[in-house]
Amino acid sequence: MPAVWLSQNLVMSIKNKTDSIDDLLRIMARLRKPETGCPWDITQDFQSLIPHTLEETYEVIDAIERNDFTHLREELGDLFFQIVFYCQIAKEEGFFEFTDVVDDLNHKLLKRHPHVFPDGSLNSERIAESAPQQTEIRNTWEKLKAQDRLSKGQKGRLANIPLAIPALSRAEKLQKRAANHGFDWPDYPPVLDKIDEELAELKEAIDLNDEQHIEEELGDLIFACVNLGRHRGINLESCLRRANRKFESRFQAMEGIANNNNLDFESLSLGAKNDLWEQVKKLKKNASS
């Protein structure tokens, strides 16, 4: 995507390292200037930027999970550029601008952290010895968020959980919100029983060859697995990303073994490919022991 690369590298290539937000906002305005700006940036709107924002978000996550902190610095800049981009479009449309976003964020942070800012101002500070417990902090946070939802006319205890976030993340948020209102198992063993129950129902649907029922039961099984991850403190998005990377690594190792033995991977039988898979698993296990 050359235009995106050019616009982002314009920001990165400024020689005088003032690191000034004002300079960044001016750069963004210039990129959007109708007569002399970047042809790609000029044509963007809120909707067209969504896929780029998602891509930049996942690149930040990827850098963190790879412990690539040199790359993380760059990726955070790319993600921040998306925020500045949205703010410039909003300013042009007369909705709000960057300083409004920062002011709203400052106000929210001060309001939602009374255990740090007792009177809701930046100058206030709690006594060091009066640190609240984590449970108290979490309960206060959820109570203040609920008040904010009501003030915005968002009724219902599960309101304001975005539909657009990944389904696994949304499932976890729904479960956490329900748990905050007392609808949850006390520990994980009953969740394991629920997974067994959902798996049995999925098998029954498969035996009946009922596609709609199969899809429904598979969704219930995944939802139950998210619940188990939540009870065990495991984020399912991160867990599945690690599983994806493990599968990718092992598959590439299978290809490597085939190439080293002058085997045509495509022409191998499923049994031969499974043998390669077991070889890779054994090599990986020996390497980690």
- One DSSP character per residue, 139-196 reads HHHHHHHHHHHHHTT--STTTT--SSS-HHHHHHHHHHHHHHTT-S-SSSHHHHHHHH
Predicted pLDDT at 2: 44
Q: Does domain 185-234 have CATH number 1.10.10.10?
A: no
Residue with tokens 């998210």: 226
Fold of 2-96: Helix Hairpins (1.10.287)
Question: In Å, how far are 31, 245, 254, 260, 272 from 279, measured between CA atoms?
Answer: 54, 18, 8, 14, 11
Highest mean pLDDT among 60-69, 152-161, 206-215 belongs to 206-215
What number is the average pLDDT over the span 172-183? 90
pLDDT at 153 over 50: yes
Predicted pLDDT at 73: 95
Q: Angle at the Cα of 132 (from 128 to 137), degrees rounded to 5? A: 130
pLDDT at 215 over 60: yes
Task: Give start-end residues of each CATH 1.10.287.1080 domain in the chain.
Answer: 2-96, 185-234
What number is the average pLDDT over the span 184-204? 96
Predicted pLDDT at 202: 97
**Is the Cβ–Cβ distance between 270 and 254 less than 8 Å?**
no
Comparing 59-68, 72-81, 156-165, 230-239, which segment has the lowest mean pLDDT? 156-165
Predicted pLDDT at 131: 59
How far from chain centre, in Å, is Cα 166?
A: 7
- Using pLDDT thresholds of 50, 70 and 90, give the confidence band for residue 5: very low
**109, amino acid identity:** L
Predicted pLDDT at 191: 96
What pTM did the predictor assign?
0.60
Predicted pLDDT at 19: 61
Predicted pLDDT at 123: 85
